[in-house]
Amino acid sequence: MSAPDRIRLVCTDLDGTLLNERGAVGPLTHAALTEAARCGVPVVCVTGRPLRDALSVCRDIGTDGLVVCSNGAVVAEVATGKPLRCRGFSRRRARTALARLRARLPGVVLGVDTLHGLFLERGFEKLVPDCWQHACVPDVAEVPIPGDGVLKILAVHPDLVGPSLARRLVHPGDGVLATWSTPYFLEVAPTGVDKGAALRWLADHHAIRVAAVAAVGDMPNDLPMLRAAGLAAAVANAHPSVRRCADLILPSNEEEGVADLLSMVLSARQEEIR
């Protein structure tokens, strides 16, 4: 575990972590983000949200620099929206994976996230509260997939959630990783495309050691990021598996726990400079 005085980059999840239940940041968090920018400590939002939603949130809360979205599939510039890194399924692999998922579980409702839009089959939004902006289609396998491919596949079922859904849909040898950021739906990506791989890319991009990166999250899709980081933190409202993985337990997102982490990192940074 790295000490806060060695941290040079902070990666934070958005929903349930940096953002409160109203989808905003509180005054302490806003002040801490401003101070981090002044002190030259980058804070990168690393989220499962699609690019369009992630950019909107980052701009609203005033973070600049880079954002990681679609569970690590994309790294983009906040100011311009320009993707710097894009990983996911090729068109052929996406169609193969979609056919496999549909064959394994009757009644499954699917979606695909691409750089150009989020496409969800009819019925998806009825099973997922607060669904993102999307295009509704009868069959995502028939959506013209652009040259950059599919960033991730989403799956929801009226009777199965979380781990139960993963066990039915994803088998060893498929070459995919299944995770979830809410209990409602499953997120499927190629093996090696996750928040941990994105964190390692960010460390290299900023020319710092991975041990000098702190990460904070709340749900199972954050686990690869926490395992890769030098300092792993969880908010108090985090899933039990995330709390077990953490070096540090912060106050909840409603209590602005990420502000506490940033304050620790910045205080240690100031002491080091002195």
Q: What is the pTM of this model?
A: 0.94
- pLDDT digit string, tens, across residues 75-98: 999 999 999 999 999 988 999 999
Q: DSSP secondary-structure letter at 17?
A: I
Reported confidence tier of residue 2, pLDDT bands at 50, 70, 90: low
Same domain, 66 and 186: no
Span 108-119, average pLDDT:
93
Please state, rounded to an integer, the average pLDDT across all residues of the chain.
Answer: 94
**Better-scored residue on pLDDT, 71 or 268:** 71
Same domain, 207 and 259: yes
Whether 115 contacts 86, CB under 8 Å? yes
Same domain, 68 and 117: no
Number of domains in the chain: 2
Same domain, 79 and 203: yes
3-state secondary structure of 39: helix
271 pLDDT higher than 70: no
1 pLDDT higher than 80: no
CATH number at residue 119: 3.30.1240.10
Same domain, 130 and 96: yes
189 pLDDT higher than 90: yes
Same domain, 15 and 75: yes
Same domain, 99 and 161: yes
121 pLDDT higher than 60: yes
Same domain, 30 and 161: no
Lowest-confidence range among 31-35, 148-152, 222-226?
Answer: 148-152
Whether 258 contacts 241, CB under 8 Å? no
Which domain, by its residues, includes 155? 91-190
Same domain, 78 and 15: yes
Final residue in a domain of this structure, among 130, 164, 190: 190
Query: What is the model's pLDDT at position 5?
Result: 59
Task: Pull the structure tokens for residue 191.
Answer: 């093996």
Reported confidence tier of residue 147, pLDDT bands at 50, 70, 90: confident
Final residue in a domain of this structure, among 190, 205, 238: 190
Reported confidence tier of residue 57, pLDDT bands at 50, 70, 90: very high
- pLDDT digit string, tens, across residues 193-241: 999 999 999 999 999 999 999 999 999 999 999 999 999 999 999 999 9
Query: What is the model's pLDDT at position 273?
Result: 62
Among 206, 223, 227, smallest CA distance to 84 is for 206
Same domain, 111 and 238: no
- pLDDT digit string, tens, across residues 163-186: 899 999 999 999 999 999 988 899
Same domain, 137 and 111: yes
Query: What is the model's pLDDT at position 225?
Result: 98
Same domain, 75 and 160: no
Lateral strand order in the sheet of 74-77: 83-86, 74-77, 66-69, 43-46, 9-12, 213-217, 231-235, 248-250
Final residue in a domain of this structure, among 190, 205, 226: 190
Q: CA–CA distance from 76 to each of 46, 61, 70, 186, 202 (Å)? A: 11, 16, 11, 24, 11
CATH number at residue 218: 3.40.50.1000
